[in-house]
A and B are shown apart, each in its own frame.
Chain A
Amino acid sequence: MQELVNRAKELLADGTVARVLGWKAGDLPYNPEPAYFEKAEELVDFVYNGFCGANLSKYMIEASKLEGKTMVCLKPCDTYSFNQLIKEHRVDRDKAYIVGVGCKGKLDIEKIRKQGIKGIELIQGAELTDEADTLKIQTIYGDKTCAYADAMLERCHVCKGKEHMVYDELIGDSNETKDADRFDEVAKLETMSPEEKFAFFQKELSKCIRCNACRNVCPACSCRKCVFDSTKFDSSQKANVDSFEEKMFHIIRAFHVAGRCTDCGECSRVCPQGIPLHLFNRKFIKDIDELYGEYQAGADITSKAPLTNYTFEDAEPSIVGKRG
């Protein structure tokens, strides 16, 4: 982290960048927030640890409009989102100085809480430099431990890899955190009966409070005005009035980002109700991979997106009923 701060100071000092986009330490052990730093002295608050899960690429839409370059810290998975935003002309590559930061898997405070750990005062082991694979957690109810892997965000268990897709320089090493296949959960659901599937999604979506956190955090949902906020489709139903509306919202949202979603996992990370929203996006990704050839959004900035492409031999929609 010190290396990052030093580099940020250098870049600010030599005028390469006008600001740094990173994370600012919070007032609890686990709540750093995305923040801009314009002066070297502000960087005392800069932090980069296991709780810096936020994908900063979407902030670059606004930062691209600012005077001068912005040094932005992007984790390997974030760089896919950034590429996708370049492809869609939503960010200006020339306005970004991308420091690809290492990642050893990001932590999910909800997972720690789910283990019954509460009253957290201090967490040790979340720094990038920490070698231990266990978090030591000091709470008002006594000292606890939690395996690092058990506290990791779901997305880190299915990590896309340690490579940054786009960067100006790299700082820090990454760990291999992948220990599951990202399509396993989808595949499991696919084998269920319609009744079971329906019950599963009905239960999950019944929790949705239409807070729009999933949409607003999503780097692919970069619309200036979402269809669900506009009158264009007569679809601006703001709150959950009927269970259908959540289905409509989440299906359409997933559809709109189909072929554009990099599977960055932010939607699931931010959902206050813990809805596994990635299951929607990954279903589309899995279908696209199976039907139209493997495609990773954000891996490059030139390939044709699956939904703006076709082949004469594409599968017919009737394949839906025919697959296993």
Chain B
Amino acid sequence: MSLENKEFKPKIVAFCCNWCSYAGADLAGSSRLTYPADVKIIRVPCSCRVNPMFILRAFEKGADGVIMCGCHPGDCHYSTGNFYARRRMTLLFSMLDYIGVENGRTRVEWVSAAEGVKFSETMNSFVEKIYSLGENVRLGDLRCKN
């Protein structure tokens, strides 16, 4: 392994709801639609399970970008979960933007189980954005930096 490789490799956390987006990611996989390995997916039952604490925690521990995917509004497995998630994330992202964190580091995208292509495209574009923003220096605990 070329550990000497010091070029920027972002850490990207993707929260995916079990019913739509995680399945969408599975479909991207079975369709062999590639996206960078920087993205790591965490499965949650619903986008409404994603606590803003999780997102800040990811940044604290060194994530350079956090993306949350859920069912399209109106299609939530639990009927209303993504509606709440949408408001929560809108406010949280707005707050992060307000304190000067580049808003490209956070994103919400609705991806259905049938949208493997969209999942892959979303991840590709998100990763590209994070590369353009570079390392996350405004959020993050110094103790987690090496």
A and B bound? yes
Chain A residues proximal to chain B, CB less than 8 Å:
186, 189-190, 192, 194-202, 227, 233, 235, 241-245, 247-248, 251-252, 254-255, 258, 280, 283-284, 287-288, 291-292, 306-312, 314-321
The interface of chain B, by Cβ under 8 A from chain A, is 51-53, 56-57, 59-60, 73-74, 80, 83-84, 86-104, 106-108, 138-143
Contacts of B88 in A (CB 8 A): 255, 307
Q: How far is the CB of B46 from chain A (nearest CB, A)?
A: 14
Q: How many A-B residue pairs have CB under 8 A?
A: 115
Query: Which of B89, B98, B101 counts the most chain A CB atoms within 10 A?
Result: B98
Write out the residue numbers on chain A whose beta carbons fall within 8 Å of the beta carbon of B57. 235
Kindly provide the distance from the CB of A131 to the nearest chain B CB, expressed in whole angstroms. 41
Least distance between B104 CB and chain A CB atoms (Å): 7
Taking A194-B102, A196-B100, A201-B100 as contacts, is the C-beta distance between A317 and B138 under 8 angstroms? no
**Are B86 and A317 within 8 A (Cβ)?**
yes
Q: In angstroms, how far is the closest chain A Cβ from the Cβ of B59? A: 8
Given contacts A189-B98, A287-B91, A306-B87, contact A255 B141 (CB under 8 A): no
Residues of A within 8 A of B103 (CB): 320-321
A186 partner residues in chain B, CB cutoff 8 A:
98
Known A-B contacts A251-B95, A255-B95, A280-B95; the reply to A314 vs B87 at CB < 8 A is yes
Taken together as a complex, chains A and B put the C-alpha atoms of A283 and B95 apart, in Å, by: 7
Q: Please give me the residue from chain B that is nearest to A287 by CB atom.
A: B94
Give the complex CA separation of A186 and B100 in angstroms: 13
A245/B53 in contact, CB under 8 A: no
- B99 near A198 with CB under 8 A, answer yes
A189 to chain B, nearest CB (A): 7
Task: Point out the residue from A245, A258, A284, A307 that lies within 8 Å of B84, measured CB to CB.
Answer: A307
A–B complex contacts, Cβ < 8 Å, 26 sampled: A190-B98, A194-B101, A195-B100, A197-B98, A197-B100, A201-B100, A242-B143, A244-B59, A244-B142, A245-B141, A247-B99, A247-B139, A251-B95, A252-B52, A255-B52, A255-B88, A280-B95, A283-B95, A284-B91, A287-B91, A288-B91, A307-B84, A308-B84, A312-B83, A314-B83, A315-B90
